[in-house]
Structure 1
């Protein structure tokens, strides 16, 4: 498979492994019923303010392999977007890029990557590669990713690195969206090719787990007016005349202990009858044996709306209508020039289960969460959204939009009903490990304990009632984290007195261990040294 090379590639290929794990600091919860609150909601919906590379790393313990659908809309690198390179990669050239960004920040400016920047494609690829690597790790085995991009700038480059990261065989196609319907009729642009559509790259994590998409069923003439043993069905007569040319003695045999009525014979042979009996597709109704036909039996006869690869603006909206809808929700002009309409994202994510986790790590104005809430309201689903936005408007625009969507807003003097819903807002906190790879005690013992539990069990941490270093019990494994700030801890016979919860296996973290290996093996005790044996994501 052909691969793409660029300045700094050799350093960013594994850069995602060097990104520090930072804790997520909960700032507030929000519910449509009660507004902002200090305590977290249990919605599972998250909005995170911070660098998306570090935020994605922070999501790994809880969400690795669990995200069903990712949609991202990264910078198109047109030279007019005002994005700058922010990643701290150990490469002389890349360090100069970062130095330029930091110097601009000191002056409250942005080190914009313009059309005259000869390394702008290298910078963009160095920015995208480690983020895509982490996104790939977050996807479930049957998960998919949609990436909005545009044709003339980075589309070809993006496809090359996606083939490298997700696998060429897992490329599902290029979708197209009619992003604009208005031509440019001024200046020299009117005489140039005008781009009407934007592509959306579509990849899956593992094609062998892709068994088709959920489709919207269209109206059909198939009816299921009766109630059978297995649910709604249609009962069909399986008898026919046994006279003249239709007479067949071999088609007279017991079904469900009953023969056909006088002058009748079965339409089905004995082998078919026995197979239908085994599948509970035959029942006695009004003293007659009838065949029960269920919706799943007629999947080939049912009609569905296809998952088309093109989206018309008339059906899902354009960039202009997306901008207008955002301004309506916010009741002011927000300043975003191009905004994806919620209906477009709804169309994408509607093809997956209604309890999916949906992630957008270039959240912008929050369109993806808006779409998730709309769909949940429409079909009663329980989809969860995770948004990451690094800009300072993460709270004032991204989160504010979602608040307004849940409680309702006005659109052209018409009141739009709220979707209901809730979320938690987070800021990226301190790194869990310091520069020497020791635990950073400034994050607090609770965050450290939470991380250890996640790394071991991949389940949410709940502070147990039992004190003395106990983390919890999962299945028959018991976990203890014997740790004290500013002093070493030892797993010895005295420390074993602290273990009150019984299990088949004991996983114990401490700085040192003085227990004999034979004793530990006999009692199924696994020692993990702090910080050496703590899992790094």
Structure 2
């Protein structure tokens, strides 16, 4: 597989593993208590902060990064030199990949300027086999006569963590009115409207029981065309006829066709790769919506916000109720607003002050029951809530290798659990046993977790503490215990099947 190369690529690759670990700190809560999060801060640092808690747990990621168009936008710098743009994207994509669930997918909006390069970069980070498709979105319906070509579409690149699983769990689109109108009921079937489909199939993989003559109600005999067979075996076909599921036309002598009822149809249609403005909106439509939301609150509006109907289609295809959605380039808050209205959990990250001036006011409007965008189509009436977070200015691990003295047990426990297992912690970290993964139990002695509130109390692995751990949190297999120091010999550790790791050195050096 070809790889993309650029100036400083090695530094970009290295930086994905060297992002300092900062803690999230909650600044405010809006509406009802909720897991939903809006984070203000550098999204690279924020993604790293999320890793111990959410690694492998995000169902859908949508991002709309700066397009590197050499244009100046008010709310972010979109004039990055090409190699700088790639270096900015690479470590963020690596962290996003690791946050994605096994059945999850990532959707990225992009235009012609970087689309080809982003595709190759995504192939490298996510794997070419995990590419699902590229979607063309008609983001403008007006013609630009001042250019060589009028640019009317952008792209959305779609990758899945596991394409096989994604193909099984992704949702169809809702049936449109045009499709529903194809269902009729010419024979007044009590099961309601239906449409007919061919009753024959290709003969290449048929069994002998699929070749037979079929007598219609009028007495006319039908046989499959050359190279074809009947869709059903003769016994199944007879039962289908008796159940009035085969249509021979109004005169009863037509070519047999299978009746497919609307009330038995799947949820909808297989998504296609051309998304028209009439179905998912345009930038202009989205901008008018945002202006209506911020009327009297903000004068500064993003130049190219995405319409809620576009994000609604992505979230609908990729997720179900209560699934987790992440947008690390939150912009004016569209993804969070859509996820909120659709009953999904969400995390949004934005660097600038517009996290406060745009995202928070918009989501407050959503909580109040704002009726723009997709509100009416999803029957949104308001409610819910979200928390507003920032990043602690100092990293957990200091330059001298020590752990910041104010760090509590739970965030360090979540960090160590993720470091050892590669997965996010799905349970509260409130005991010295962090959990068992692949047959190995992990323990942490830190910050008085054993009940001794002195800073040094209970953080040293001694024989009495080992015996207590074995009695209170027994595990027959291998055990890894983190602590500040140890006063047990290697022979006793081996007998107990324990590997000891010292804080902070065995944490920081890894």
Class of the TM-score when normalised by the shorter of the 2 chains: 0.7 to 0.9
> Do the aligned partners of residues 361 and 423 (structure 1) sit closer, same or farther apart at CA in structure 2, a change above 3 Å counting?
same
- Given that 2:57 and 2:424 are in contact with CA atoms closer than 8 Å, whether structure 1 keeps it comes out as no
Structure 1 gap segments, 5+ residues each = 35-40, 85-109, 226-244, 246-266, 274-295, 377-382
Check 1:193–1:462 CA distance in 2 against 1; reply closer, same or farther (3 A cut): same
- Cα gap change, 1:165/1:417 in structure 2, threshold over 3 Å: closer, same or farther? closer
Given candidates 301, 309, 321, the residue that maps to 1:343 is: 309
SS at 1:161 equivalent:
helix
Give, in whole Å, the separation in 2 of the partners of 1:434 and 1:125: 29
In structure 2, the residue corresponding to 1:10 is in which secondary structure?
A: helix
- Establish whether residue 51 from structure 1 lines up as the match of residue 42 from structure 2: yes
Cα pair 1:83 1:113 within 8 Å, conserved: no
Q: Deviations over 1:293-322 (max 9, x none)?
A: xxx999997583230112111221110111
- Within the alignment, does 1:196 sit opposite 2:152 as a pair? yes
TM superposition shift of 1:436: 3.1
**Does 2:289 align with 1:325?**
yes
Q: Look up the match of 1:66.
A: 57
User: Kindly tell me: are residues 50 and 302 of structure 1, through their superposed partners in 2, closer, same or farther at Cα, counting changes over 3 Å?
Assistant: closer
Could you give the per-residue CA deviations for residues 57-96 of structure 1, whole angstroms, max 9, x where no partner exists? Answer: 1111111112121110000111223599xxxxxxxxxxxx
| Residues 208/354 of structure 1: CA separation in 2 closer, same or farther (3 Å cut) | closer
Task: Give CA deviations for 1:376-432 in whole Å, capped at 9, x if unaligned.
Answer: 3xxxxxx211111111111221122111112123669x9996432221111011311
Residue 358 (structure 1) aligned to one of 290, 314, 325:
325
Superposition map of 1:352-431 within 5 A? 352-355=318-321, 356-376=323-343, 383-409=344-370, 418-429=381-392, 430-431=394-395
Q: TM-score, structure 2 length as denominator?
A: 0.72
Q: Secondary structure at the match of 1:328?
A: helix
Match of 1:492 in 2: 462
Which residue does 1:165 correspond to in 2? 125
1:440 to 398, 404, 414: 404
What is the alpha-carbon distance in structure 1 between the residues aligned to residue 279 and residue 101 of structure 2? Answer: 30
Equivalent position to 1:75, from 59, 66, 79: 66
The one-character-per-residue Cα deviations of 1:433-486 (angstroms, maximum 9, x if unpaired) are 11233212244455434544665684355464xxxx746666995734244787
Structure 2 CA distance for aligned equivalents of residues 181 and 520 of structure 1: 71
Name the Cα RMSD after superposition.
3.8
TM-score by length of 1: 0.69
Tell me the equivalent position of 1:100. Answer: none
- Which of 130, 136, 141 pairs up with 2:102? 141
Partners in 1 of 2:143 and 2:371 — Cα distance? 30
Q: For 1:157-306, list aligned pairs within 5 A.
A: 157-184=117-144, 189=146, 191-212=147-168, 213-216=170-173, 218=175, 219=180, 268=235, 302=266, 304-306=268-270
- What are the residue-to-residue correspondences of 1:24-35 with 2, within 5 Å? 24-31=24-31
Q: Is the contact made by 1:23 and 1:443 (CA closer than 8 Å) also made in structure 2?
A: no
For the residue of structure 1 that corresponds to 2:346, the secondary structure is strand
Match of 1:516 in 2: 489
Structure 2 CA distance for aligned equivalents of residues 375 and 221 of structure 1: 32
Equivalent-residue separation in structure 2 for 1:224 and 1:204 (angstroms): 42
For 2:21 and 2:508, locate their aligned partners in 1 and report how far apart those are by CA, in whole Å. 11
Contact 2:40 2:352 survives alignment (8 Å): yes
